[in-house]
Amino acid sequence: MAEQFSALFGSIADVGRTGSGGYRRFAWTGEDRLLREWFTGEAVARGAEVVPDRAGNLWAWWGDPDTEPGVVLGSHLDSVPDGGAYDGPLGIVSSLLAVEAAGPLARPVAVACFADEEGARFGTACAGSRLLTGALDPSQALALKDADGITMAEARSDRPDKDPEALARIGCFVELHVEQGRALEVPVGLATEIWPHGRWRFDLEGQANHAGTTRLVDRDDPVLAFASMVLAARRHAEQLGLLATFGRLQVSPNAVNAVPGLVRAWLDARAPTEDLLLQLLERLGGDPTQESWTSAVRFDLELADRLSDCLSAVPRLPTGAGHDAGVLQEHGIPTAMLFVRNPTGISHAPEEHADLDDCLAGVAALTTVVQELAG
C-alpha cells in the first residue's frame, strides 16, 4: 500500500506546482482540467463509471446507485494560491485506494471529486457542492469574476444547475481530509462539527494625496484606520475565544509615493458559536459588507458513532475549516469526516504535510469504513 499510495499521490505532484513549492490549481483552468482527466482515468482503471452532475462535480461509481443510494467518499483537487499538496488530493487518493482495497461490495460506492471547493478563483468556497444542493444560485455563480475579470460563465463550458437526482444517489458521505491544525496526537481523528464562519469586506475611505508634500497633520490616511482595525480584531478574538484574520487587502491608488485614498480589507472570522461572531463585528464597528456566511454544521451523530465503533474509538474534534461535507450535511445527507494528522499544523501553505505512515493509517481507516458501510 505504501508503494501504491506514493505512486498515485506522486502522479499529480507536478500539476500546478509553483516556485514556492505550493500549488495553484484553480477551478476551470488548464491545471484543473488535467486533474479532472487524471481522476477520471484512475477511477475508470479501477472499474468505475465516471459521470458529471449538473453542477460540474465528478462521480466515480461502482455499482448502480439508481437501485439503492450508495456510500460516497471523496474530496476535491483544486487549491488556494500556493496551497499545500494534501488539502483535497489526500482525500481523493485515499478514497480511490480504499475502494480498491475494500473487496466485494454489497452496496453501490462512489468517489466524488467536487469542483471549486476552495473558491480561490471566483471567491465562493464549496461552489460545486453549493450549486449541486441549490445553496448557490446558478445565475449568481456564473456572474462571479476572477482577478482578470473573467466570469465563471466564460470559464466554464456548461451551464451549472442543482441536481436532485445526483443527490438522491447519496446514502451517506464520508470525506477524509488532512488536519488543518495541530490538535491530533494520533494518526486519524473524527470530526464532530464545523464552526460557524463568515467573510466581510470593509471599505475604509480617506483622501489620496502626495506622499512627499502632504503634511502628516493634513493627511486622511485610511491605512491608519485599517492598522487599528487589525489590532482590534486580534485583541477581541483573544478575548472572545475565536479566530479573526484580515488576509486580503486592496489599497488605492497603490503607489509608493501616494497617500492612499481607499483601503478595502476582507475579514475571515470563525467561532464556536454564531453569537461570538456577531459580538466581534459589533466591537469592530464600521459598516462591513457580508460576502459569505456559513452556520454551524454538526455532523451526523449516528454515522459518527458507527465509524467510531468500527475504528476503535478514534478521537473526536471540531474544525473551523469549511468543507463540501458540511454543505451536504446541511442539505440533510448523513455525513462524516476523518482527519489525518498534520505534524506541522500548517495548511493552505507549501509547508502543509502528513507523514506517509499517517496517510496509510488514513487509507486503512477509510477502507474499514467502506467495508462497514458497504461491504
Instruction: For the chain, give the percent of residues with pLDDT over 70.
Output: 100
Residues 6+ apart with CB under 8 A from 270: 195, 196, 197, 242, 243, 277, 320
Q: Of the candidates 259, 293, 327, which is a domain's last residue?
A: 293
CATH of the domain at 251: 3.30.70.360
Task: Please report the pLDDT score of residue 292 as a whole number.
Answer: 85
For 184-202, the pLDDT digits (tens) are: 999 999 999 999 999 999 9
Domain match, 112 and 132 both: yes
CATH of the domain at 45: 3.40.630.10
Is residue 279 located within the same domain as residue 307? no
Neighbours of 179 (CB within 10 A): 27
pLDDT tens column, 132-170: 999 999 999 999 999 899 999 999 989 999 999 999 999
Q: Take residue 288 and report the three cell numbers written for it.
A: 462591513
Q: CA 194 to CA 326: how far, in whole Å?
A: 7
CB 329 within 8 Å of CB 122? no
Count of beta carbons in the 10 Å neighbourhood of residue 238? 10
Rounded distance, CA 48 to CA 96, Å? 10
Task: Give me the pLDDT at residue 244, please.
Answer: 98
Indicate if 153 and 300 belong to the same structural domain.
yes
Last residue of a domain, one of 245, 261, 293: 293
Query: One-letter amino acid identity for 25?
Result: R
Give me the pLDDT at residue 375, please.
86
Residue with cell 450549486: 131
Average pLDDT estimate for 64-78: 97
pLDDT digit string (tens) for 14-36? 999 999 999 999 999 999 999 99
Q: Are residues 44 and 86 in the same domain?
A: yes
Q: Same domain for 244 and 98?
A: no
For helices 222-240 and 274-284, the axis angle rounded to 10 degrees is: 150
Same domain as 142, residue 38: yes
> Is residue 287 located within the same domain as residue 300?
no
What b/e string do you get for 11-30 counting C-beta neighbours within 10 Å, with b at 16 or more?
ebeebbbeeeebbbbbbbbe
Residue 56, SS3 per DSSP? coil
27 and 169 in a common domain: yes
Residue-number span of the structural domain to which 240 is assigned:
197-293
CA separation for the pair 363, 31 (Å, rounded): 26
Residues 146 and 262 in one domain: no
Instruction: Judge if 49 and 185 occupy the same domain.
Output: yes
Question: Last residue of some domain: 274, 293, 312?
Answer: 293
Which residues have C-beta within 8 Å of that of residue 23, sequence separation ≥ 6? 15, 16, 17, 79, 82, 83, 84, 85
Residue with cell 488548464: 30
Burial (CB count <10 Å: 0-12, 13-18, 19+), residue 232: middle
According to the model, what pLDDT value does residue 78 have? 98
Helix, strand, coil shares of the chain as percentages rounded to 5? 35, 25, 40
- The answer to whether residues 153 and 252 belong to one domain is no
Provide the pLDDT confidence category of residue 313 given band limits of 50, 70 and 90.
confident
Residue 98 has pLDDT above 90, yes or no: yes
Per-residue pLDDT at 187: 97
Residues with Cβ within 8 Å of 88's Cβ and at least 6 positions away in sequence, in order, are 75, 76, 77, 78, 79, 117, 118, 177
Name the residue with higher pLDDT: 124 or 239.
239
Helix (H, G, I), strand (E, B) or coil at 209: strand
**pLDDT tens digits along 269-280:** 999 999 999 999
Q: Are residues 9 and 39 in the same domain?
A: yes
**Model confidence band, residue 291 (pLDDT cutoffs 50, 70, 90):** confident
Are 115 and 108 contacting, i.e. CB atoms less than 8 angstroms apart?
A: no
Give the DSSP per-residue string, 266-292.
EEEEE-SSHHHHHHHHHHH-S-PEEEE
Nearest Cα to 19, choosing from 69, 82, 75, 74? 82
Total domains in the fold of the chain: 2
| Its pTM surpasses 0.85 | yes
